[in-house]
């Protein structure tokens, strides 16, 4: 089979999903009536995302030219076939709503395309991939250019030496990320990957950032990979709307790791509906300093204990009918605390309290429910100062677009770890007097895991490159990368767990950690249904 065999398959998936998107755009009045057609919108958005992942997988592999080994080409061809099949099946129940007939579908996925899919996605192809993955213990790296290869090499060495040996202990004991990680990651420049050089950062472009995230997450999602997401989100918000003085004051400290960051948007009663936030900010002068006092609850603020500053979204306009237009983003300084709960009182009497909520995975950073009472922040800590008042929602969203891209990288890292551990396990585990990799079904499952991961990586790297060119325009692609890669990570880790049998459920085996870690990925930074509807569908249908 040749890589070109995948082209007609990709054309079919692209044609079908483009038609579906065009029709969904009409039905939802250019995305303004998505809520009246939620199921259709989510399916079309997801199918379009699958087609996009297929395109990026094929483009990436083709771009490798002579560096594309037959194994890598096989991965791409089978991946495109799987994604094209899934996109079509997802749309099948909606044909009538999309104004398409069976004949229309047949015209796109005609006999030649269907035959190509049967060849490209045949179980024997996936088994062949699975056998190759097992042989190389899941470690077949994608070729990169020289600089990026060096980045991957350096970060991997760091993650293997400094993070991986502690990852299990951290998880099982729900310890906090060790200070040594923070110090060494700071020295290595990992916190400054989104901070421009003029502010003391080490910006090398989004692909380098993704590769760094991926390698750190491969060692430990919460212990290392996710540590660099928070500075990324705040740095992007500051770059989008901070004053020059704010950029000069905060970015160097965020980029060096001198200041650890928490992101505080969610509240106990407000998650996806960010525009309804209730945490209030009121003007007050305290000790002769003009500023704001914050009052209200927050929840799920990851790393809030250890963090030195929180990027906190609060309501500055008391008129709740203003919704998102009444919110501002504050940099809230606090004392560091390494416990599972903390309380800090300011000299003025303002108070912040936090209590970590126990979670099955994503341990190591601790996610806190917070309560703020008359907590004072100076006016200069409102991002954008006067000009940023009531613009916090938009700055936060600028930060989240970057955060989502990075979460695509986090998902690839966790999935990579699961692939490697599973490849090792199935090569060593013997049942019925044979290593279980010798069974066809094991090979097939391992092959599918690798195929899904290759597609996740391709769409995430493509989003990273697009973000380098134009962050605003690339934000929807970053959301698609997050949507796809996080789901894939859940599927890959769970399949890996199944292939471990009972031991996959034992804490002693790292795969059980990867499963519970991966499960959080489709939840934060836009829970999957919201990401599908309010980010991906809205951008696709809005034209």
Rounded to the nearest whole angstrom, what is the least distance from the CB of residue 78 to ligand FAD in the complex?
Answer: 31
Contacts of 346 (CB under 8 A, 6+ apart): 375, 376
Cα separation, 89 vs 291, in Å, equals 56
Whose Cβ is closer to ligand FAD: residue 396's or residue 512's? Answer: 396
Rounded to the nearest whole angstrom, what is the least distance from the CB of residue 227 to ligand FAD in the complex?
Answer: 12
Rounded to the nearest whole angstrom, what is the least distance from the CB of residue 537 to ligand FAD in the complex?
Answer: 11
Rounded to the nearest whole angstrom, what is the least distance from the CB of residue 240 to ligand FAD in the complex?
Answer: 18
Residue ranges in contact with ligand FAD by CB under 6 A: 38, 263-266, 271-272, 300-302, 359, 362, 367, 520, 523-524, 527, 529-530, 533
Running DSSP on this structure, what letter comes out for residue 228?
Answer: G
What is the SS3 string spanning 27-62?
Answer: HCCCCCCHHHHHHHHHHHHHHHHHHHHHHHHHHHHH
Rounded to the nearest whole angstrom, what is the least distance from the CB of residue 308 to ligand FAD in the complex?
Answer: 15
232: tokens are 């990324």
Whose Cβ is closer to ligand FAD: residue 60's or residue 300's? Answer: 300
Whose Cβ is closer to ligand FAD: residue 367's or residue 456's? Answer: 367
Whose Cβ is closer to ligand FAD: residue 105's or residue 365's? Answer: 365
Rounded to the nearest whole angstrom, what is the least distance from the CB of residue 529 to ligand FAD in the complex?
Answer: 4
Whose Cβ is closer to ligand FAD: residue 180's or residue 523's? Answer: 523
- If phi > 0 it is left, if psi is from -120 to 50 it is alpha, else beta; for residue 303 that is left
Give whole-number Cα distances, 198 to 186, 203, 232, 538, in Å. 17, 10, 16, 36
Whose Cβ is closer to ligand FAD: residue 54's or residue 216's? Answer: 216
Cα separation, 247 vs 65, in Å, equals 42
The three-state secondary structure class of 297 is: strand
Rounded to the nearest whole angstrom, what is the least distance from the CB of residue 265 to ligand FAD in the complex?
Answer: 3
Rounded to the nearest whole angstrom, what is the least distance from the CB of residue 85 to ligand FAD in the complex?
Answer: 26
Rounded to the nearest whole angstrom, what is the least distance from the CB of residue 367 to ligand FAD in the complex?
Answer: 4
Give whole-number Cα distances, 41 to 405, 525, 539, 542, in Å. 22, 20, 11, 12
Whose Cβ is closer to ligand FAD: residue 294's or residue 426's? Answer: 294
The three-state secondary structure class of 352 is: strand
Whose Cβ is closer to ligand FAD: residue 113's or residue 301's? Answer: 301
Rounded to the nearest whole angstrom, what is the least distance from the CB of residue 212 to ligand FAD in the complex?
Answer: 20
Cα separation, 148 vs 144, in Å, equals 6
Whose Cβ is closer to ligand FAD: residue 56's or residue 267's? Answer: 267
Rounded to the nearest whole angstrom, what is the least distance from the CB of residue 262 to ligand FAD in the complex?
Answer: 6
Whose Cβ is closer to ligand FAD: residue 301's or residue 459's? Answer: 301
138: tokens are 């899941």
507: tokens are 């804490």
- Is the separation of the CB atoms in 66 and 494 below 8 Å? no
Residue found by looking up tokens 């004949």 in the block: 103
Cα separation, 466 vs 55, in Å, equals 14
Whose Cβ is closer to ligand FAD: residue 73's or residue 267's? Answer: 267
61: tokens are 């592999």
Q: Please choose, from the candidates 415, 488, 405, the residue with its C-alpha nearest in 3D space to the C-alpha of residue 452.
A: 488
**HSE-up of 166 (CA within 13 Å, CB side)?**
20
Residue nearest to ligand FAD (CB): 271
Q: What is the DSSP string of 459-495?
A: HHHHHHHHHHH-HHHHHHHHHHHHHHHHHHHHHHHHH
């Amino acid at each position: 089979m040749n890589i070109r065999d995948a082209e007609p398959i990709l054309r079919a998936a692209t044609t079908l999903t483009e038609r579906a998107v065009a029709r969904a755009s009409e039905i939802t009045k250019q995305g303004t009536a998505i809520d009246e057609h939620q199921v259709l919108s989510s399916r079309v958005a997801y199918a379009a995302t699958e087609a996009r992942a297929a395109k990026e997988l094929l483009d990436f592999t083709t771009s490798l030219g002579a560096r594309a080994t037959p194994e890598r080409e096989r991965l791409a061809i089978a991946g495109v076939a799987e994604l094209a099949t899934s996109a079509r099946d997802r749309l099948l129940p909606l044909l009538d709503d999309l104004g398409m007939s069976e004949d229309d579908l047949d015209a796109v996925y005609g006999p030649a395309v269907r035959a190509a899919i049967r060849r490209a996605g045949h179980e024997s192809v996936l088994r062949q991939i699975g056998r190759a993955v097992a042989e190389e213990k899941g470690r077949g790296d994608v070729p990169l250019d020289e600089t990026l290869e060096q980045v991957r090499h350096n970060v991997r060495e760091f993650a293997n030496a400094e993070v991986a040996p502690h990852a299990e202990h951290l998880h099982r004991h729900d310890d906090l990320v060790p200070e040594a990680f923070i110090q060494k990651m700071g020295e290595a420049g990992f916190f400054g990957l989104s901070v421009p050089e003029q502010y003391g950062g080490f910006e090398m472009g989004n692909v380098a950032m993704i590769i760094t995230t991926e390698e750190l997450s491969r060692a430990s999602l919460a212990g290392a990979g996710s540590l660099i997401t928070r500075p990324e989100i705040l740095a992007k918000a500051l770059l989008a709307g901070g004053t020059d003085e704010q950029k000069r004051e905060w970015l160097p400290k965020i980029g060096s790791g001198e200041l650890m960051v928490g992101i505080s948007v969610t509240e106990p009663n407000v998650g996806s509906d960010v525009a309804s936030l209730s945490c209030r900010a009121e003007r007050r002068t305290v000790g002769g300093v003009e500023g704001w006092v914050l009052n209200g609850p927050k929840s799920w603020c990851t790393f809030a204990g250890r963090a030195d500053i929180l990027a906190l979204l609060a309501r500055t306009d008391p008129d709740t009918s203003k919704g998102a237009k009444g919110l501002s983003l504050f940099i809230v300084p606090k004392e560091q605390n390494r416990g599972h709960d903390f309380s800090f009182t300011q000299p003025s009497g303002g108070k912040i309290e936090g209590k970590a909520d126990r979670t099955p995975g994503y341990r190591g950073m601790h996610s806190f429910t917070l309560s703020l009472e008359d907590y004072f922040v100076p006016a200069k800590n409102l991002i954008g100062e006067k000009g940023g008042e009531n613009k916090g929602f938009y700055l936060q969203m600028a930060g989240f677009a970057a955060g989502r891209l990075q979460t695509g990288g986090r998902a690839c890292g966790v999935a990579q770890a699961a692939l490697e551990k599973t490849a090792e396990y199935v090569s060593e585990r013997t049942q019925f007097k044979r290593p279980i990799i010798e069974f066809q079904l094991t090979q097939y499952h391992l092959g599918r895991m690798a195929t899904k991961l290759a597609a996740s990586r391709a769409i995430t790297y493509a989003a990273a490159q697009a973000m380098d060119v134009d962050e605003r325009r690339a934000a929807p692609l970053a959301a698609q990368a997050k949507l796809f890669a996080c789901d894939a990570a859940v599927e890959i880790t769970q399949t890996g767990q199944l292939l471990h049998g009972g031991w996959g459920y034992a804490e002693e085996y790292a795969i059980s950690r990867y499963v519970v870690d991966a499960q959080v990925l489709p939840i934060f930074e836009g829970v999957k249904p919201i990401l599908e509807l309010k980010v991906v569908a809205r951008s696709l249908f809005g034209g």
